[in-house]
Amino acid sequence: MSAATAGDGPWLDDAAGRLVRPFTISDGRTRPSIALDLMSQVMATGVTPLGYLGPEHSQALDLCRVPVPVAEVAAHLKLPAAVTKVLLSDLVDCGALTTKPPAYHQHLTDRALLEAVLDGLRRQL
């Protein structure tokens, strides 16, 4: 059994897995301070956070050099989405990250397209 040292990212043990439980990473908080969807885009602003936030915050900030969805950050950090949202909201609160809601298509149905499909179906019958 070998344990990783403190500077090697998340503390892992080959047999036991993660030695630090996810709720300790978020200081026991379960709700982010801002609303984040799994598909919300987060991106680093270039502002350096004041004070110590933790290694997971630094890892998340490194991942967000380009716009990336919250779900992808959670996957890379190997943390539950709820914990990742709390970490990202901490970074947004200190100005190190900016968020953008997911882009949903406003016009999911184009009437002209639907009429063309209907006309084509009618010709087939």
Q: Please write the tens of the pLDDT for every residue from 70-115.
A: 999 999 998 888 889 989 998 999 899 999 887 665 556 678 888 8
As a whole number, the mean pLDDT across the chain is 78
What is the distance between the alpha carbons of residues 48 and 29, in angstroms, rounded to a whole number? 23
Longest dimension (CA), the chain: 70
Structure tokens at 104: 């949903």
The three-class DSSP label of residue 53 is: coil
Indicate if the pLDDT at residue 5 is higher than 60: no
The three-class DSSP label of residue 123 is: helix
Q: Please write the tens of the pLDDT for every residue from 94-105.
A: 899 999 887 665
The secondary structure of residue 64, as a DSSP letter, is T
